[in-house]
Amino acid sequence: MTTSTPPEATGTTQTPSPHSAWLRCLDTRPEAPTRLICFPHAGGSASVFRAWLSAWDASIELWAVQYPGREDRTTESMPGTLSDLARHIALTLQWKSDKPFAFFGHSMGAVVAYETASQLSRLGLTTPSRLIASGSPPPGSAAEQAGQDDNAESVQWLHDGPPPDAELQQAAARVLAADLDLLARYPQRTPTPLDIPLTVLRNRDDPGLDAGALAPWDQYTTCGVDTVTLPGDHFACYEQPHVILAELRKSSPAPQSPR
């Protein structure tokens, strides 16, 4: 049997970038002065943020975190704790701190984004210029809710087209259940306030997420909290990139000094 080597495989073997497993650049814009790093919801993946690209701003490079266990990382297991997950992401981000960046996290992603910012601070690395937490109570309450969730088999499909087959649905349900378990085991400790402005987004039709549930977020920052109420249900943020862009423009992103 004869074999042939693809032209791109000849020559020197290329070493993957240190950030390539954990971070996905959804829209390469080297000239953009800042980046937004997005953290998906439980059961979600980096590609969910591609829905924003049609209305995105050329001045902000769009990136997303790819958790293990999904899409091209299906053979990998999630770290043992949410803090371990955040530490992996934080260590990866030091390779992408050449320009200012902000965080956006939806649902479980809001908690992972907060913990990642905390890890960056503790490690003395560059921290985000702003944290936008969408569709989530503060970390302690979010962990408690996840522990009480009896509907872990319900997967929200966020794309058009025919429904996925049974095998894909089962795989997605397993990923969702594992993510919720990771969140449920996040310790409900005394909040560590971040020196980062915090924006909290909620949607009117998101059950159980009223202003009272969001109020404790003010314990997680020394810089004050802006709370914004939007139309739509829990996953409406994926159809509202203009809102995220407006929040990002409220502050002029500047890199934080390493501690």
- How far is residue 254's CA from residue 130's CA, in Å, rounded to a whole number? 9
CB atoms within 10 A of CB 238: 20
- How far is residue 198's CA from residue 179's CA, in Å, rounded to a whole number? 24
- Side-chain half-sphere CA neighbours of 216 within 13 A: 13
Cα separation values, 194 from 63, 118, 134, 191, Å: 22, 7, 17, 9
Q: What is the pLDDT of residues 132-184, one digit of tens each?
A: 999 999 998 998 888 776 444 455 554 545 556 777 778 888 899 999 999 99
User: Concatenated DSSP letters for 31-48?
Assistant: T-SEEEEEEPPTT--GGG
pTM of the model: 0.85
Hey, what domains does the chain have and what are their CATH numbers? Answer: 17-249 (3.40.50.1820)
Q: What is the pLDDT of residues 193-236, one digit of tens each?
A: 999 999 999 999 998 788 888 999 999 999 989 999 999 999 99
